[in-house]
A and B are shown apart, each in its own frame.
Chain A
Amino acid sequence: MTTFGWPEALFLLRAAGWTLLLTAIAFLIGSLIGGVFAIMRLSRIKLLRRIAATYILVIQSIPVLMVLFMSYYGLSLFGVELPPFLAASASLAIYVSAYLAEIWRGSIESVPFQQWEASASLAHSPAQTYRYVILPQAIRISLPPTVGFLVQLVKNTSIVSVVGFVELARAGQLVNNATFDSFRVFGLVALIYFAICFPLSRLSRHLEKVMNASRPH
């Protein structure tokens, strides 16, 4: 039995790097898919709206753990043997896309509709309207909830340990199995997560004030 010391603590810190990388990749891919679904959700074509709404509703109504299992076993069914890191990123990206699509839809919708009319009266195409009029305003509105959601994402990366990928939570389990020093091990793991998430939470709250996006009471 080993005791909990510096090597173990450094092992946890290195694993935290994987957590951050996983977060970044899932966020990047997820925001691309999410952006597409947000715009589909607001499309003039009913079928596209329906598809996007169903996708968002379904993904938001099942546990992330199930998204993970489904993509892991679903793909291996087709003979694609994904390494754990890819399976984890892919399923987290799906999870991210549904929530970001909903956040961004709300942000786009909260741009006053007169802005759409003004842009149309300037003979902008729909793409130009989005690019020059709507998105610059929508992005401001969407920043605080997007950063807030990032906190949820960082925390939810912890469950990918189930497919064998060693990120922070999994590293904590491994060290715990070797040292049985659960309080200190998981205490440090919690502390590292807190050190990542708390600044993000504060940033989200700060942005809310700066962007003046929150409703005045």
Chain B
Amino acid sequence: MPIQFQFEPIFAESDRIIDGVLLTLGLSFGAIVLGLVLAVLLVAAKSLLGRWVGLLVDAYVELMRNTPFLVQLFMLFFGLPLIGIRLPGTEAALLAMTLNLGAYATEIIRAGVDSIHRSQLEAGLSLAMTKRQVFQHVVLMPALARVWPALSSQFVLMLLASSICSFIAVPELSGTAAIIEQNTFRSFETYIVVTIIYLALALTLKVALNWLGRAVFPRVSSVDRLDARAEAA
């Protein structure tokens, strides 16, 4: 029996698919922005505050990096209600993604900060910059510029990992796919369409982040970029 593909029932649900794409993008952008802020705060805390804070940050980073995102998601979604915090699926997903990405970004940015030479700090201080100014202009921004390629790939990985949020029935793209599959019984066609959408989203995000990096950190030479890429690999 020849296999017949029927894509019409899938395209009939395009409104649903668009909603799913928007939620996937919303969750990813939210997690990227919040995760980046969290990571910068943690790196700042680690380098400016005492040793105990540093150890706490390390513990958090290692804990998140060495357990599956799925289990972190379950912990927040099923575990938090037990202590009286009931989060709806989408909020739990955003929180889990932020905490997960925050840990990875902390590790990446820390590597960038470590690559800033001491003499740069001394130069900054000798120019009568305050400690905060040195951290912002001499340490943080050059560090971010250096590790931007590694951060970008982590952001793309987070976009892909957002599909796991369908496990707690968040109606993002892959959650939508599950619904469409139930409505149409065309499993393979559904997942072909959704996979192509993910592919397009991931490639677009990759290009956009590359462009953003060039726009935000224009003064980084291409040599530095190559260096950072080699270190990230």
Give residues in A with beta carbon < 8 Å to B: 57-58, 61-66, 69-70, 73-74, 77-78, 103, 106, 145, 151, 155-156, 158-159, 161-162, 169, 172-173, 176, 182-183, 186-187, 189-190, 193-194, 197-198, 201, 214-215, 217
Verify A62–B195 contact, CB threshold 8 A.
yes
Q: Please report the C-alpha to C-alpha distance between residue A62 and residue B163 in the assembled complex, in whole angstroms.
A: 10
The 8 closest A-B pairs by CB, nearest first: A182-B78, A197-B66, A63-B163, A61-B202, A158-B68, A155-B68, A73-B187, A63-B160
Which A residue's beta carbon lies closest to that of B200?
A61
Given contacts A145-B233, A182-B74, 6 further A-B contacts (CB under 8 A): A62-B198, A66-B198, A156-B68, A189-B74, A215-B227, A217-B114
Contact A169-B202, Cβ < 8 Å, known A74-B188, A162-B167? no
Verify A65–B79 contact, CB threshold 8 A.
no
Q: Please report the C-alpha to C-alpha distance between residue A159 and residue B161 in the assembled complex, in whole angstroms.
A: 10
Verify A172–B195 contact, CB threshold 8 A.
no
Q: Please report the C-alpha to C-alpha distance between residue A217 and residue B156 in the assembled complex, in whole angstroms.
A: 27
Interface residues on B, range: 35 or more
Question: Which applies to chain A's interface (DSSP): helix, strand, loop or mixed?
Answer: helix
Please name all residues of chain B whose beta carbon is closer than 8 Å to the beta carbon of A58 when the two chains form the complex. Answer: 199
Looking at the complex, which one of A73, A193, A214 makes contact with B191 (CB distance below 8 Å)? A73
- Smallest distance from the beta carbon of A197 to chain B beta carbons, Å? 4
Please name all residues of chain A whose beta carbon is closer than 8 Å to the beta carbon of B78 when the two chains form the complex. Answer: 176, 182, 186
Verify A176–B66 contact, CB threshold 8 A.
no
Which B residue's beta carbon lies closest to that of A102?
B233
Interface centre among A62, A77, A194, A214 (most CB of B within 10 A): A62
Please name all residues of chain A whose beta carbon is closer than 8 Å to the beta carbon of B161 when the two chains form the complex. Answer: 63
Please name all residues of chain B whose beta carbon is closer than 8 Å to the beta carbon of A57 when the two chains form the complex. Answer: 203
Q: Please report the C-alpha to C-alpha distance between residue A119 and residue B183 in the assembled complex, in whole angstroms.
A: 61
Verify B67–A193 contact, CB threshold 8 A.
yes
Contact A197-B67, Cβ < 8 Å, known A63-B174, A66-B191? yes
Looking at the complex, which one of B79, B164, B199 makes contact with A186 (CB distance below 8 Å)? B79
Verify A189–B71 contact, CB threshold 8 A.
yes
Name 19 A/B residue pairs within 8 A (Cβ), A-sorted.
Answer: A57-B203, A62-B198, A63-B164, A66-B198, A69-B177, A70-B195, A77-B188, A78-B3, A155-B68, A155-B69, A158-B68, A158-B69, A159-B70, A159-B167, A169-B71, A172-B71, A173-B74, A186-B75, A193-B71
Query: Which B180-205 residues have a C-beta within 8 angstroms of A?
Result: 187-188, 191-192, 194-195, 198-199, 202-203
- Smallest distance from the beta carbon of B4 to chain A beta carbons, Å? 10
Q: Please report the C-alpha to C-alpha distance between residue A44 and residue B196 in the assembled complex, in whole angstroms.
A: 30
Contact A215-B231, Cβ < 8 Å, known A78-B3, A158-B68, A186-B79? yes
- Smallest distance from the beta carbon of B112 to chain A beta carbons, Å? 11
Q: Please report the C-alpha to C-alpha distance between residue A151 and residue B68 in the assembled complex, in whole angstroms.
A: 10
B166 at the interface (CB under 8 A from A): yes
Query: Which B47-62 residues have a C-beta within 8 angstroms of A?
Result: 62
Verify A201–B66 contact, CB threshold 8 A.
yes
Verify B75–A182 contact, CB threshold 8 A.
yes
Q: Please report the C-alpha to C-alpha distance between residue A61 and residue B200 in the assembled complex, in whole angstroms.
A: 8
Q: Please report the C-alpha to C-alpha distance between residue A159 and residue B115 in the assembled complex, in whole angstroms.
A: 36
B230 at the interface (CB under 8 A from A): yes
